[in-house]
Amino acid sequence: MGIADGRVVVVTGAGRGLGRAHALAFAAEGARLVVNDLGVRADGAGGSSGPAEEVVAEIRARGGEAVAHGGDIATSAGAASLVAAAVDSFGRIDTLVNNAGFLRDRMLVNLDEDDWDAVVRVHLKGHFLPLKHAAQWWRAEAKAGRRAVARVVNTSSGAGLLGSVGQGNYAAAKAGIVGLTLVAAAEMGRYGVQVNALAPAARTRMTEETFAETMAAPGEGAWDAMAPENVSPLVVWLGSEDSAGVTGRVFEAEAGRITVMEGWRPGPTADKGARWTPGEVGEVVGKLLGEAGVPGAVYGAG
């Protein structure tokens, strides 16, 4: 009996890396899984059913229940079929973990429109559409008198919170996911749905080149602080009934550290009570900035 015992959990991008770690962790806590993955390369090209099917086989070999889903969750049809796979296979959906994504890193002056569209599509639209279709199912259940105890865990990034040089498309999409999370938490609570976001740091295909030195695998016998499995316990807890009352929050998880992130809120303020002149603005803004905290550094900024 685990904290996710009997829950039906959908994880997108679950064929490798963080998604795979999340799926296996949920299964170990008694959940039944829908493992979604297109099996694309790190830049989103290609595709294979192999990764999702391998994770399903791994869960079943350990005595768990799981089915594979190979639909494109950044399309309405694919997202709808994802929810249908859970309902058809297990009778319902309790937890949605939005995790799918890939990278196409370029400095902004070299970033092609297609690379912008592709990354924003898989990360931001690929969060919105599964969330929308799951929410429609939970709303229908609530209207039928069967209010859900549902959970959504979205995957943002430190790049979305602070920015990251060479990742303008990715950072913009991940920042958008935070905004989506806040709106969804406010709108969906009436149906019994809690929505939170996670900014993970771990060694995966998406990070191994960007953070090659800081995320390198340890020597034999050492604790692997950057293993994706270190992030999954927080995801499992957020996706379980044990997290009751926690919604609209953003967490950062890295190695053994969990942080509650605090977003934009009013800082130092000046109010003239009338319109400022441009000359006055420079003086007052300089004073306000002197009173304000220093922003976190953008990743990769020298």
CB–CB of 2/30 below 8 Å? yes
191 is catalytic: no
Helices 168-188/126-143 angle, 10° precision = 10
174 is catalytic: yes
Q: What single-letter DSSP state applies at residue 46?
A: S
CA distance 196 to 180: 10
Among residues 81, 174, 191, 299, which one is catalytic? Answer: 174
CA distance 21 to 34: 14
268: which 2 tokens? 């130092």
Among residues 81, 156, 170, 191, which one is catalytic? Answer: 170
Long-range Cβ pairs for the range 170-179 (8 Å, 24+) = 170/101, 170/103, 170/105, 170/119, 170/123, 172/120, 173/101, 173/119, 173/120, 173/123, 173/124, 174/123, 174/199, 176/120, 176/123, 176/124, 177/98, 177/123, 177/124, 177/127, 178/250, 178/263
Number of alpha helices (DSSP H) and beta strands (DSSP E) in the chain = 9, 8
269: which 2 tokens? 């303020």
Residue given tokens 């692997």 in the structure block? 224
Among residues 81, 156, 157, 164, which one is catalytic? Answer: 157
Catalytic residues: 157, 170, 174
